[in-house]
Structure formats: structure tokens, C-alpha cells
Amino acid sequence: MYSWALRPLLFLLPPGAAHGVAMAGLAPAEYVAPLRALTRAVFSPKADARVAVETMGLRFPTPVGVAGGFDKNGLRARALAALGFGFVELGTVTAQAQAANPAPNLFRLPRDRALVNRLGFPNEGAAALARRIGARGLGHCGAGVPVGVSIGKSRAVPVGEVQRVVDDYVAAFMPVRAMGADFVVVNVSSPNTKDLRTMQAAPLARMLLGELAKKNAGRAGAAVPLLVKIAPDLDDAGVEALLAVVEEVGLAGVVATNTTTARMGLTTDAARVEAIGAGGLSGPPLRARALDVVRRVRARLGRATTVIGVGGIETAADAMAFVRAGADLVQLYTGFVYEGPGVAGRIARGMAAEAERAGAKSLAELVGREN
């Protein structure tokens, strides 16, 4: 029904307006428990040990999560969990509340089933999100699935003032940690905040991630799993250098990957692509590079580090390709836009069927085993 009825109607609207309609449509399930239960009964896959994942000290009922960017302010975490997502990543939030970059800032490429965005972390601020986590009982898996938060740099803080950048990330991190986020993703790879990707360089990453790890360990309560989200546009040497920092600092995991600034291999008319201009491309055109980065992360960091694969996942076959490349968990955003509210359950059920065909009792038996 979504592909032939609802999606065409939504795609008549500008992308930002369509997203607003989708968020409004999720409101009843977010606020009304019986409707949430009904949504879960319709969309969520049945519990299946073959696709349940235990990693970072957390249990994920399925490995299929919502990527950061869909629910920037934590407005619909319970509804998203009811749709069958095995975990939800909120944000990206920053220490300072900020508006989106000037419109237009979000574009569809239907021929490529892709999106381009240059939103630039619009959000109400990390403290506001933290209060919402507490008020709705989302922390410590209170939504029924792990709920993580992505944190980024406030636009007003210049990258050239590195200590201010570090302090800004710490200011975003501490309130969401205090309110019980199940994991935190450090976003240093968005292409839509000026010069942010320079923070992936090993010396700067070491300062930032090291300080966050120290603050994480030095506060009362259990340390929250910390992950870093990396860009697909880093060359292999840059990826290796950043992964060495991840290993040195002792992060729990890596999210691979963010959106890309590349525009290669698109079927969308070149003039249309040029007219759109700058921004991060997501969807199937990103998949091959994201898979390459997942393989590299797993090979470099081994089994002890959690790897979340993201980039162009729309089907169970896509998700299983990431698992076989080395991902413990997968995320989607653009696939959610194009495939609709049933996508998480369909992917999870398909992954369970694939595990059964492979004779595996769990997806962990298949992680990193492409041959």
C-alpha cells in the first residue's frame, strides 16, 4: 500500500513537508499506549533469537535500527520502536540549539532512490533532548529497544578553536549520558557543518574522543557505550588512522558510514544533480563504499568492537551483505523514506530466513563471513 498509494502522495510534497507529515502520523502511536501496542502487533516481527543481537552490554531484539537524522529531537522514539525497529538513534543534537541551514536543504533523487541533505544539525539542543528522554522514560531501554543519541558540534563554535570544539561536544554529551541514553554516537563526519570532517584527523580525533571517554568513565554510574560515526569519503589511510584512535581510546564501536559528497554513478540527470548543489548523498549509491568501510573497520578492530553498518539498505539482502561484511547492526533512513513503515519488520524477517538457510543459530555466526 505504501509504495503505490502513500508514497506517491507524500512525494507530491517537498521533502521537508513530507517528513513533517510522517512525524505527525507517528504521534498517535507515540502518545497513546493502546495504539502503540496495535502498531507493534501490525508491524513488529515476532521475537526471534536468530536476529536478536547482544553487543555493548545491550540486547537488540533485531539488528535493524533507525539512523540518526530521522528523529532529531527525540519526538517519536516509542512509535519507531513499535514499527519494528530494533533500536533508535536520536539526533544529531548539539550543545546549542540551532536552526537548519537555509532552505532548500533536502532533496529527493527518485531515480536513484536517494536523498541529498544539507540540513546542518537543526535541533532544540542536547539538554532539551535529555529532558525528553527522562520525561518519556526512554533511557535504559525504556522504549523497549535501545535508544541512542548522536551528538555533533554547534555551528557557532569554529573548528579552528579545538578546545572550544571539545568543550562543546562534552556539553552535548553530559546531559544525554545523565538521562540514560543507551549509547552515544559522536558525529564528526557530517558534510553539512563547515569543516567538521577535519575532526576525523587522528590528532584532533584523539583530543576529542579521548576527552569524551575520560568524562564518560569519570562520572557516577555506568559508562555509556561511545561510538564514532565516520565518513565514506575518507581515503583508506585516513580510515586506518582514525581507527587507530578508536582502538587507542577504547571506544565501543564505529558507525560506518555517514552521507557522501560524491556524486558518481547516479542515474539522475546530471543537470538536476548540479542544480541541487552541495550536501550529503544517502541511499543505494552509497552502499558499495559503506560496505568497503565496514570490511575495513572489522578487519582493523576485530570482534571486540561493535560495527553498525549504514548506507543504502532497503532489503534483507542489503542488510545481510553488511552483516557478512562485518556489521553487528544496521541502520536505515533513506530506505525508510522509500520503503515505508513496514520496512524494519520485513528486513528483520528476511534476515531470520537467511540465517535459517545458512544453518546459523544467530547472526553473530555470519558476521564477517563473506565466503
Q: Is 3 a catalytic residue?
A: no
Does the pLDDT value for residue 224 go beyond 80? yes
Is 109 part of any domain? yes
Number of structural domains found in the chain? 1
Contact 184, 228 (CB under 8 A): no
Is 229 part of any domain? yes
Residues whose CB is less than 8 angstroms from the CB of residue 281 and which lie 6 or more positions away in sequence, other chains included: 109, 114, 115, 116, 259, 260, 261, 262, 263
Structural domain containing residue 14: 2-365
Is 370 part of any domain? no
Quick one: what percent of the chain has pLDDT higher than 90? 95
Q: Please, what is the Cα angle at 62 between 142 and 75, to 5 degrees? A: 40
Q: Residues 89-106: what's their mean pLDDT?
A: 97
Predicted pLDDT of residue 371: 65
Which residues are bridge partners to 107 per DSSP?
A: 116
To 10 degrees, what angle do helices 287-301 and 236-249 make? 40
> What are the pLDDT digits (tens) for 100-111?
999 999 999 999
Q: Residues 7-25: what's their mean pLDDT?
A: 96
Predicted pLDDT of residue 216: 96
Is 175 part of any domain? yes
Does the pLDDT value for residue 221 go beyond 80? no
Contact 22, 80 (CB under 8 A): no
Contact 75, 23 (CB under 8 A): yes
Q: Which of 154, 190, 282, 362 is catalytic?
A: 190
> What are the pLDDT digits (tens) for 262-295?
999 999 999 999 999 999 999 999 999 999 999 9
> What are the pLDDT digits (tens) for 240-263?
999 999 999 999 999 999 999 999
- DSSP code, position 123: B
Is 43 part of any domain? yes
Distance CA 63, CA 41 (A): 19
Is 371 part of any domain? no
Is 333 part of any domain? yes
Q: Are strands 53-55 and 58-60 parallel, antiparallel or unpaired?
A: antiparallel
DSSP string, 266-293: --S-HHHHHHH-SSEEESGGGHHHHHHH
Quick one: what percent of the chain has pLDDT higher than 70? 99
Is 75 part of any domain? yes
> What are the pLDDT digits (tens) for 295-306?
999 999 999 999
To 10 degrees, what angle do helices 15-31 and 33-43 make? 110
- Which CATH number does the domain housing residue 32 bear? 3.20.20.70
